[in-house]
Amino acid sequence: MKELLQKYLSAFSRLKRGNTIYGKAPHKPVLLLSIIELIEKGLVVSNAIPVNADLVGTFKENWQLLVPTLHQADFTQPFFYLQSEKAAGAQIWFLQAYPGCQINSYIKSITTLAAVCAYGYFIEELFFLLAD
């Protein structure tokens, strides 16, 4: 269990974050903290995390509390780009599109993202670790 935890702590500490004039982009860490918060509160109970008011609202609340820079609180960006993150070479975040839909690129609109994406999900062992 300790090795597993270390693998993901290492991955989280090395998130790919864009460089901006305000410093490193905080979007992915804020999204991860928001998902973890919803798991802890019992609002996320399965490894199928939809784009909904709970997640977007928690993201915005955490953004206000944690981000002192002039970065824009864009929820859709980390929801999509978290797919590029890996732990020990394995992708950790995936998006599941609704039947008949595809997610081939970043979608800027929360409404459009929610209409196309059924949910995001973690690699199974990571979700179980976060839920524990």
pLDDT tens across the length of the chain (132 residues): 788 889 999 999 999 999 999 999 999 999 999 999 999 999 999 999 999 999 999 999 999 999 999 999 999 999 999 999 999 999 999 999 999 999 999 999 999 999 999 999 999 999 999 998
Distance, CA of 33 to CA of 50 (rounded, Å): 15
Q: Which of 120, 93, 69 is nearest to 12 (CA)?
A: 93
Give the 3-state secondary structure of residue 97.
strand
* pTM score: 0.94
Q: Percent helix, strand, coil in the chain (nearest 5)?
A: 50, 15, 35
CA dihedral defined by 68, 13, 94, 79, rounded to 10 degrees?
10
Give the structural domain span for 66: 2-131
- How many folded domains does the chain comprise? 1
